[in-house]
Amino acid sequence: SNSNQSTNHWEQTRRHPCYSMEAHYKYARMHLPVAPKCNIACNYCNRKYDCVNESRPGVTSEVLTPVSAEQKFIVVKEKIPNLSVVGIAGPGDALANWENTCEAIERIKQSNPEMIFCLSTNGLLLPHYAPEIVELGIKHVTVTMNTLNPDTGAKIYRHVHYQGKKYEGTVGAGILLENQLTGIQYLAHQGVLVKVNIVMIKDINDSEIPAVVKKAKQLGAFMTNIMPLIPAEGSVFANLPPTSIKELNQMRDRCQIDLHQMRHCKQCRADAVGMLSEDRSQEFYAGVDSLIK
């Protein structure tokens, strides 16, 4: 039944600081920046920086190999005992770097079965990798889906690289959308807790957000996270107005009727470490090379 399902969700989620408001006071997360490549071109992205899908633009990260990511995990876990989640959120797309993503998770999982593993993706490769995601035991996946309309998508995404070809405009946005929809539904039906991130961009997709949330619900998503556009320097959207907290909260209030809304997102870096309210990544990056040989 529905209530059984939500009890299950809660059991799996009560230690996840992004999925649970209460958990974010108690537990820490760590991102492994093992995913440098991206397969799409978002206009809110400055490709020099972290993936805006799940992280704050304008902050560069060091990229780690799966082996160095595991070593870093060991150092961090020692210092942060309340670490509950290991997430892969860029700096590019977790699935466009699947071998790295998969290897980093497998390595850590072997000796840390209690860790919650989490991925963030633009969704383009979900139809391809969703079965492997489920197989790996990943129960928390974030998909950024900004619109249900390929014409709007064409204003947000310049192109999409898919199966060896480059698709521009509405065609590219249409492929991305189809794969997001298929992927979200597949994962949700397999019991994965899907969070749909939506970047709220004034006069581009803001009026469509309630429809995106309704669709996310229909596909079985667990919640949506409506995030403000932070106009990144050097991105196509650099000169767009930022979304205000007031507008953001009004939109969340409106959408809350349909689906649970995340309200404590910190738009983290791809190498964020610690509680959501703090970022200790510098601490670990500063000394990490001398700590691990």
Residue pointed to by tokens 């397969």 = 39
Which of ligand SF4, ligand CLF, none is residue 281 near (CB under 5 to 8 Å by kind)?
Answer: none
Which of ligand SF4, ligand CLF, none is residue 85 near (CB under 5 to 8 Å by kind)?
Answer: ligand CLF
Q: Can residue 64 be called a binding residue for ligand SF4 (CB under 6 A)?
A: no
- Per CB under 6 A, the list member of 43, 122, 144, 225 interacting with ligand CLF is 225
- Per CB under 6 A, the list member of 97, 142, 144, 224 interacting with ligand CLF is 142
Q: Can residue 156 be called a binding residue for ligand SF4 (CB under 6 A)?
A: no
Select 152 or 224, whichever has its Cβ closest to ligand CLF: 224
Q: Can residue 51 be called a binding residue for ligand SF4 (CB under 6 A)?
A: yes
Gyration radius (Cα) of the chain, Å:
18
Q: Which two tokens stand for residue 75?
A: 């150092």
Which of ligand CLF, ligand SF4, none is residue 40 near (CB under 5 to 8 Å by kind)?
Answer: ligand SF4
Residues numbered 78-107 forming contacts with ligand SF4, rule: CB under 6 A: 90, 92-93
- Per CB under 6 A, the list member of 193, 268, 273, 275 interacting with ligand CLF is 268
Cα(205)–Cα(161) distance, rounded to whole angstroms?
22
Whether the CB-CB separation of 233 and 58 falls below 8 Å is answered with: yes
Pairing assessment for the beta strands 28-31 and 193-200 based on DSSP bridges: unpaired
Q: Can residue 216 be called a binding residue for ligand CLF (CB under 6 A)?
A: no
Phi, psi (degrees; rounded to nearest 5) at 121: -150, 160
Q: Can residue 138 be called a binding residue for ligand CLF (CB under 6 A)?
A: no
Q: Which residues contact 288 (CB under 8 A, 6 or more apart)?
A: 71, 72, 75
Best CA proximity match to 120, nearest among 194, 178, 189, 171: 194
Q: Can residue 206 be called a binding residue for ligand SF4 (CB under 6 A)?
A: no
Q: Please, where are the H alpha helices in the chain?
A: 2-13, 23-26, 66-79, 98-111, 126-135, 150-156, 169-189, 209-219, 245-256, 281-291
Among the residue ranges 41-49, 66-74, 131-139, 238-246, the one whose residues contact ligand SF4 (CB under 6 A):
41-49
Q: Can residue 194 be called a binding residue for ligand SF4 (CB under 6 A)?
A: no
Q: Can residue 120 be called a binding residue for ligand CLF (CB under 6 A)?
A: yes
- Per CB under 6 A, the list member of 118, 192, 248, 251 interacting with ligand CLF is 118
Among the residue ranges 17-25, 34-42, 62-70, 134-142, the one whose residues contact ligand SF4 (CB under 6 A):
34-42
Burial of 137 (0-12, 13-18, 19+ CB in 10 A): exposed
Phi, psi (degrees; rounded to nearest 5) at 225: -125, 95
Q: Can residue 53 be called a binding residue for ligand SF4 (CB under 6 A)?
A: yes
Provide the terminal-to-terminal Cα distance of the chain, rounded to the nearest Å. Answer: 51
Q: Which residues contact 110 (CB under 8 A, 6 or more apart)?
A: none
Q: Can residue 45 be called a binding residue for ligand SF4 (CB under 6 A)?
A: yes
Binding site for ligand SF4 (CB under 6 A): 38, 40-42, 45, 51-53, 90, 92-93, 122
Binding site for ligand CLF (CB under 6 A): 18, 29, 31, 54-55, 85, 87, 89, 118, 120, 140, 142, 225, 265-268, 276
